[in-house]
Structure 1
């Protein structure tokens, strides 16, 4: 499933369809790295580090970025729980993608990231992450990113795993060697 990019700021707040049970969304886990029957990820080019861990992005818009991950050995610490650094990577990546779209595709740079780990995600658990803007200014954006365990039988949020705030500088010019970033993001768009 390709993620959708929506420029309507209020679309997701007015839509009563839960992002995990949206009719256009495949079964949770059906296209995750390591559990996909060898199919390549459709969102790998949006964020290479996220792709390494099997994270799949579902929705991209100026007001919401979300996606999912099955916790595999590749993203676990030695105690077979999700590594906190992977949670931080997810938070910064989703906040940055959202800020990039919200800024009109200007270059984004993380300024500060804080994360509170509330509960552990175990090897094999399903995780859902959602980033929403707190403040979108011309120079600075702040995004809140929350992560939950997902009940695989109902695909509903079960236990909150982490909450984070990502502060981003959002008015930088895009260097010539990175102009492709906008076209990659737009390629996944359904405008």
Structure 2
């Protein structure tokens, strides 16, 4: 399944200087067909009532699945999110850690679909998400970007 063998340290380094590192998301474990990332809920990631913000849950889900998807394509390709759905099932209070595990539902040539489960420290399901990714050729994406900038 994995086409790129990036270590957890490399994945975390790759996400430096982005929203991922700003929020404190860190890749924590990887298996034969899954990738995990963790987030400790703090003032950067909670809503005013002191619980994990639903948008941050979706961001965590998209982060772990997108990087997993990226590791499942050859070097000539990238993945980009096309749709995310997240059902928030249980609140996570400030100070607690949530773990997101992404597993593939489908790894196609042009589309990937990932299931992401977010669990609290007691292993209770807090959020269930699904992310669809488009697999795109790097060269095609770069060319489209150049054409857009020329307009």
TM range (shorter): 0.7 to 0.9
The answer to whether structure 1 residue 171 and structure 2 residue 136 are counterparts is yes
Aligned-CA RMSD value: 2.4
Q: How many residues align?
A: 133
The residue correspondences of 1:143-182 to structure 2 (distance < 5 A) are: 143-151=114-122, 157=123, 159-173=124-138
Match of 2:113 in 1: 142
Match of 1:129 in 2: 100
Which runs of structure 1 show a deviation greater than 3 angstroms over 4 or more consecutive aligned residues? 59-62
The residue correspondences of 1:1-191 to structure 2 (distance < 5 A) are: 7=2, 43-46=12-15, 48-60=18-30, 63-105=33-75, 106-151=77-122, 157=123, 159-173=124-138
The runs of 5 or more residues in structure 2 that have no matched partner are 4-10, 143-151
Give the alignment's TM-score, normalised by structure 1: 0.63
Residue aligned with 1:130, SS: strand
1:45 Cα deviation after fit: 2.7
1:66 and 1:145 map into 2 onto residues whose CA distance is 9
Kept in 2, the 8 Å contact 1:75–1:86? The answer is yes
